[in-house]
């Protein structure tokens, strides 16, 4: 009898250990199955109530993880350790992921709400025919500045950032394309430059900006600028929009030399386990009411024309965040420069980052 009790105790302990190990595995590798949707999105990039609403409407449980750069996202999707059903890369990253066969072609018949997207955001160069991606948000890269803290003239150009009076005043968004692009544009070059001499010149130019750099940061850039820890930030337009509603001393400008116009689209990675649920999620996010609610919360510019009509006209008509084609035509989209050149941009950016610490 004693042996039997010991045997049961052993079986119990082993089962508990196996259940614990499986739970850990799920936590690190993502849950999978028909009733679960693994979403990989930028930080601060969805209205959380929409996740609850989607779960209630569909009975699908959402497991949500965030990233802070295209590079970090692509590395994780390529490694395949965690299998995501949804990811939200930007333009050049989408082109790269298509090239590397990392995405599933979308079934357009399951996304009827695509009719709400403004046609100017469809059939774009990085994904002709929207075979793999559906627009989520878009925007520009520019400069947000605090009129009181910097005093003097308004900032209008990238070149202004190198002025000695901005010592220790600048926060930069932590992105290789953004920072290298800023430097290239300030020198009058394209932000898709591949000429080595010009890239080295752009790096040296960045090194000269070091005394003015306070920090290179991720999503916390918004809090730091809103709390006036620095007077200037190089940011994505939606982040500027969000903090400008909290601090009326802030303004946003797209620099006169030119800048980047970017598009973040929703895709389904090849390793997805819940392709059906992923299509449901995409269609859900395109519903104009949901897209408007998401836009209100996130602060970024929506490509959804019918959601735009539901927004406060003051928001929808603000040309700083909804510039017309006359402005966006002068801006550049990041091109997919190929694996090696993108790695080179990263290296140059990292060298500058180490130098500016
Ligand atoms: N906090 C959400 C940030 C999303 C920014 N995406 C912009 C990518 C530009 N390449």
Which CATH number does the domain housing residue 104 bear?
3.40.190.10
Residue 108 structural domain: 31-132+264-316
CA distances from 109 to 45, 71, 279, 283, 313 (A): 26, 31, 10, 10, 32
Ligand 1 within 6 A of 236 CB?
yes
| Rounded-to-integer distance, Cα 204 and Cα 180, Å | 11
Q: Which of 57-61, 147-151, 168-172, 181-185 has the lowest mean pLDDT?
A: 147-151
Q: Do both 160 and 173 map to the same domain?
A: yes
Q: Are 347 and 248 found together in one domain?
A: yes
pLDDT the model gives residue 9: 53
Residue nearest to atom 4 of ligand 1 (CA): 42
Q: Which of 121 and 15 is assigned the larger pLDDT?
A: 121
242 and 351 co-located in one domain: yes
Same domain, 225 and 304: no
The verdict on residue 242 lying in a domain is: yes
Q: Whole-model pTM? A: 0.87
- Whether ligand 1 lies within 6 angstroms of the CB of 92 is answered as no
User: Is 26 among the domain residues?
Assistant: no
Q: Of the candidates 173, 154, 294, 304, which has an alpha carbon nearest to the alpha carbon of residue 240?
A: 173
Whether residues 199 and 98 fall in one domain? no
Same domain, 351 and 225: yes
Q: Which atom of ligand 1 is nearest to the CA of 91?
A: 10
The HSE-up count of residue 224 (CA atoms within 13 Å, CB side) is 21
List pLDDT tens digits, range 72-104.
999 999 998 889 999 999 999 999 999 999 999
pLDDT per position as a tens digit, 232-245: 999 999 999 999 99
219 lines ligand 1 (CB under 6 A): yes
pLDDT in tens, 209-223: 999 999 999 999 999
Residues 216 and 301 in one domain: no
Which pLDDT belongs to residue 55? 98
**Does residue 290 form part of some domain?**
yes
């Amino acid at each position: 009898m004693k042996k039997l009790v010991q045997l049961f105790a052993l079986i119990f302990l082993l089962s508990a250990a196996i259940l614990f190990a499986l739970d850990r595995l799920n936590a690190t590798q993502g849950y999978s199955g028909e009733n679960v949707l693994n979403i990989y999105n930028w930080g601060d990039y969805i209205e959380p109530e929409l996740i609850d609403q989607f779960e209630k409407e569909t009975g699908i449980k959402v497991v949500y993880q965030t990233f802070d750069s295209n590079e970090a996202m692509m590395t994780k999707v390529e490694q395949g350790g965690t299998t995501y059903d949804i990811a939200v890369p930007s333009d050049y990253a989408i082109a790269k992921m298509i090239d590397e066969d990392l995405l599933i072609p979308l079934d357009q018949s399951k996304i009827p709400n695509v009719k709400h997207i403004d046609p100017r955001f469809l059939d774009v160069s990085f994904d002709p025919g929207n075979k793999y991606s559906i627009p989520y948000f878009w925007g520009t890269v520019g400069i947000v500045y605090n009129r009181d803290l910097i005093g003097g003239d308004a900032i209008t150009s990238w070149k202004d950032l190198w002025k000695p009076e901005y010592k220790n005043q600048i926060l930069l968004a932590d992105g290789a394309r953004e920072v290298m692009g800023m430097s290239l544009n300030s020198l009058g070059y394209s932000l898709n430059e591949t000429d080595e001499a010009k890239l080295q010149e752009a790096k040296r130019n960045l090194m000269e900006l070091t005394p003015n750099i306070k920090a290179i940061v991720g999503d916390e850039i918004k809090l730091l600028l809103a709390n006036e820890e620095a007077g200037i930030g190089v940011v994505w337009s939606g982040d500027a929009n969000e903090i400008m509603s909290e601090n009326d001393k802030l303004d946003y400008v797209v620099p006169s030399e030119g800048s980047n116009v970017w598009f973040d689209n929703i895709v389904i990675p090849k390793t997805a386990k819940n392709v059906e649920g992923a299509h449901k999620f995409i269609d859900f996010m395109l519903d104009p009411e949901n897209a408007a609610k998401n836009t209100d919360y996130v602060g970024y510019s929506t490509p959804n024309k019918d959601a735009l009509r539901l927004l406060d006209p003051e928001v929808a008509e603000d040309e700083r965040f909804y510039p017309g084609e006359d402005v966006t035509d002068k801006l550049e989209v990041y091109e997919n420069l190929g694996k090696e050149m993108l790695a080179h941009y990263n290296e140059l950016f990292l060298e500058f980052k180490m130098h500016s610490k």
